[in-house]
Amino acid sequence: MNIKEIKELAKKFTPEQLENCITQTINEGKNECEVSGDVLEVVNTLAKAQTVRELMEQGMSEMEAIRELARRIRKVQGVE
């Protein structure tokens, strides 16, 4: 997980814009968020940025949102 890239995307784009970029990546292989690479990796990064941005809009600080994202990932992986 590239936290720096996720933080930059979360600051720059709204959740709706990130969702559009995910859709563009899936449908066209490229997106207006200027994230490139393997489609699965790009969608993964954009989805994480979208989650962080949504948490920030709910009142969390950037670091709290990143920690919450990491907690959710660990929970899904069965580590927590």
pLDDT tens-digit map of 37-53 = 999 999 999 999 999 99
Q: Which amino acid is at 71?
A: R
51 CB contacts (<8 Å, ≥6 apart)? 65, 69, 72
pTM of the model: 0.91
Could you tell me which residue, 78 or 9, shows the higher pLDDT? 9
Residues whose CB is less than 8 angstroms from the CB of residue 60 and which lie 6 or more positions away in sequence, other chains included: 68
C-alpha to C-alpha distance for 6 and 9, rounded to whole angstroms: 5
